[in-house]
Structure 1
Amino acid sequence: MTNPQPPRWLKPMNRFMMAVQKLGLHTGPAYVLTVPGRKSGKPRSTPMTPFSHDGGLYTVAGYPGADWARNAKAAGTGTLSRGRRSRQVTIVELGPEEARPVLRAFPEQVPVGVMFAKRSGLVRDGTPDEFEALAGTLAVFRFDELRG
């Protein structure tokens, strides 16, 4: 695996997705996660595709060392929004062993993520085995709803 970098079109696409979400429109399975920046403390938002697995809601970072993942890990809480609905969540990063079954489920649950991983060079074929092998390389998070 090479050191994958985000494609040039990713930031403009993310801005577009967030603008559409702010209008209250659903963008397929995408949500927007907002957390405070780990250095600035300012709200940082990024689109993502969380998915259900064994009763939990999970997401997988598209790249090792992604800024949003480092911010999410540092914050530990955030706001998950879809259209005009939002909810406060705790953000729990999984260790490699906990992440393996979630990564195995990822290809079936998030086909657009498989395409993204293939283009970036993270995986060749997008099989569950390939994704499971990324445990410890890609950040995997579980979102737990905050109860107030």
Structure 2
Amino acid sequence: MTDLPATEPTPVDRPHYRAPGLFTRAVFNRLVAALTRAGVSVLGSRVLEVRGRTSGQPRRTPVNLLALDGREYLVSPRGHTQWVRNARAAGGELDLLLGRRRAHYRATELADEEKVPVLRAYLRRWKAEVGVFFGGVGPDSSDEELAAIAHRHPAFVLERIPA
């Protein structure tokens, strides 16, 4: 076996992440999080709380909870975000908050080939809000088009853990 020189990962190999803009960070996410903390779900919004992988402190961010065929899912439209990395590091243990209600979950990451129906349903529900992050792929795109972008968008199936 020959030692090959280390190379930079290709764009396909690099984890995809699209940082939120100033308006999203300073206004939109804060507004949705405030409404959700007050107990008002905006189209299925929740506040996700997960232990930070470095600090160990709880980290919160607004997310869209997708209900599909009797199961619940989280999808990261912006790619491999901080909440995704924290959820992985926490072994999938996370909480979803709506007002004073807290639900504890175990999140299991889906393989890319399992994501197509979940991404389609997610885009059907929230394309107006998050469609820009999916590179022109939408709910009416073919299975092949959705499968081609699946690696960019982590998705988790949730299992509720009784309190």
Same-fold status (TM-score > 0.5)? yes
| Aligned counterpart for 1:64 among listed residues 57, 60, 79 | 79
Say whether residues 1:8 and 2:22 are aligned partners: yes
TM-score by length of 1: 0.83
Q: CA RMSD in A?
A: 2.3
Say whether residues 1:21 and 2:36 are aligned partners: yes
- Unaligned stretches of 5+ residues in structure 1: none
Q: Secondary structure at the match of 2:40?
A: coil
- Structure 2 distance, partners of 1:45, 1:3, is 18
TM-score by length of 2: 0.76
Say whether residues 1:123 and 2:135 are aligned partners: yes
Q: Which residue of 2 aligns with 1:91?
A: 107
Deviation, structure 1 residue 57:
0.4
Say whether residues 1:141 and 2:160 are aligned partners: no
Q: Per the alignment, do residues 43 and 98 of structure 1 end up closer, same or farther by CA in structure 2, a change over 3 Å counting?
A: same
Say whether residues 1:33 and 2:48 are aligned partners: yes
Q: Per the alignment, do residues 17 and 53 of structure 1 end up closer, same or farther by CA in structure 2, a change over 3 Å counting?
A: same
Q: Per the alignment, do residues 143 and 43 of structure 1 end up closer, same or farther by CA in structure 2, a change over 3 Å counting?
A: same
- Structure 2 distance, partners of 1:29, 1:72, is 20
Deviation, structure 1 residue 68:
1.1
Corresponding letter in the other structure for 2:49 = T
Q: Which residue of 2 aligns with 1:107?
A: 123
Q: Percent identity?
A: 31
Deviation, structure 1 residue 125:
5.2
- Unaligned stretches of 5+ residues in structure 2: 1-10
Q: Which moves more between the two structures, 88-97 or 128-137?
A: 128-137
Deviation, structure 1 residue 36:
0.4
Report how many aligned residue pairs link the two structures: 144
